[in-house]
Amino acid sequence: MLVIKVGVDAKYLEFIGKIKVQKRSIGCFCNNIILLHKKSMARILAIDYGGKRCGIAVTDESQIIASGLTTVATKELLGWLKEYVSKEEVELFIVGEPKRLHGEASESEKLIQPFLEKLNKLLPDIPVKRIDERFTSKIAFNTMIASGISKKKRRDKALVDQISATIILQDYLYNLK
């Protein structure tokens, strides 16, 4: 529990559903103190779907930070997701939507649609949102260079997929604001 002065930040956090506000008078000196009870939230999981492997990223429980989690072989993805959801509460799946430069669907979309149908049957209570993933692999590669990752590690396509999933998820979180 946090104790802070009443202010715009607390009212905003309550408005977007991140906290519950309880007003309390504490003595005669402070009558504008509130207690903040953080609401428990589920994670958001992002998938950068690929023909051979899929990058996975997940938020923290507060849905503030996106972090790369792992890379899973595409053939094993549905089983992996079912197991993960049994251990962690997941509120939403974000799946990258591959598009061409001018906005039309890419050839990869033909692979993703059957997966989405299977995912919906397997885990029907968790909604799926699609996010434009144009340039995420390029951004991921540039991020690796900027981070000082060695050339050998930059050739690891699994790491690129994981970073791409993180970028997709971070983009979703950023656009929520």
pLDDT tens-digit series, residues 27-40 = 444 444 444 444 55
21 pLDDT higher than 60: no
Total tally of structural domains belonging to the chain: 2
**26 and 49 co-located in one domain:** no
Which of 56, 63, 58 lies closest to 19, judged by CA? 63
Q: Compute the mean pLDDT over every residue in the chain, rounded to the nearest whole number.
A: 79
**70 and 144 co-located in one domain:** yes
**22 and 80 co-located in one domain:** no
**Residue 33 lies in domain:** 2-38
**Mean pLDDT, rounded, for 124-148:** 81
Radius of gyration of the chain from Cα atoms?
20
Q: Give the integer Cα–Cα distance in Å for 54 and 169.
A: 14
Read off the tokens for 53: 């492997």
**55 and 103 co-located in one domain:** yes
DSSP letter string over 57-70? Answer: EEE-TTS--EEEEE
Q: Give the integer Cα–Cα distance in Å for 111 and 53.
A: 12
41 pLDDT higher than 70: yes
pTM of the model: 0.72
Taken as a whole, the chain contains a residue count of 177
Which of 138, 160, 158, 164 lies closest to 71, judged by CA? 158
Q: Give the integer Cα–Cα distance in Å for 34 and 2.
A: 8
Model confidence over 113-128: pLDDT tens digits?
A: 999 999 999 999 999 9
**77 and 96 co-located in one domain:** yes
**33 and 64 co-located in one domain:** no
**49 and 64 co-located in one domain:** yes
**78 and 115 co-located in one domain:** yes
